Amino acid sequence: MARRLRAPRIPGVTQGPRAPKHNQANRQSRESRQRERMLDQSKANYFKYELQDILKTSAVAPELHNSLIQTLWAKGSRDSAQEARIWLNEKVKEGAVPADTQQVILRVMERYSTWR
């Protein structure tokens, strides 16, 4: 087995600073460690089917069901659950979604969200 040769150490002389590892800069910034509440991607189908059941029994127009589900899923899984809540609040203000249905949808979103 070959041995690695090292430069001899000189007493009283310190070496320069170590070169940073490839990922060390990312670990030190606070922004890279921020975690957000997002929808759990492994439970996408469960979330969508549950929302379909809720929307079938609500006063939301049937032609809006799919777009509402898909937009909530896209915003909740890619941006954050908070962004999806804001978008849902806008839909309530527009009158597309009743306030009681909004509360049920928010509970479902809370149940299917995780920190990542």
Q: What is the DSSP string of 1-66?
A: -PPPP-PPP-TT----PPPPPTTHHHHH-TGGG---EEE-GGGHHHHHHHHHHHHHTSSS-GGGHH
Q: What is the mean pLDDT of residues 6-33?
A: 65
pLDDT band at 78 (very low <50, low <70, confident <90, very high): very high
Inform me whether the pLDDT recorded for 83 exceeds 90: yes
Inform me whether the pLDDT recorded for 2 exceeds 60: yes
Mean pLDDT of all residues belonging to the chain? 86
Q: Which pLDDT score is estimated for 116? A: 85
Helix (H, G, I), strand (E, B) or coil at 116: coil
Q: What is the mean pLDDT of residues 70-83?
A: 95
Quote the pTM value: 0.70
**Alpha carbons 76 and 13: distance in angstroms, whole number:** 56
Inform me whether the pLDDT recorded for 82 exceeds 80: yes
Q: Where are the domains of the chain?
A: 59-116
- Cα dihedral 69, 70, 71, 73 sign: positive
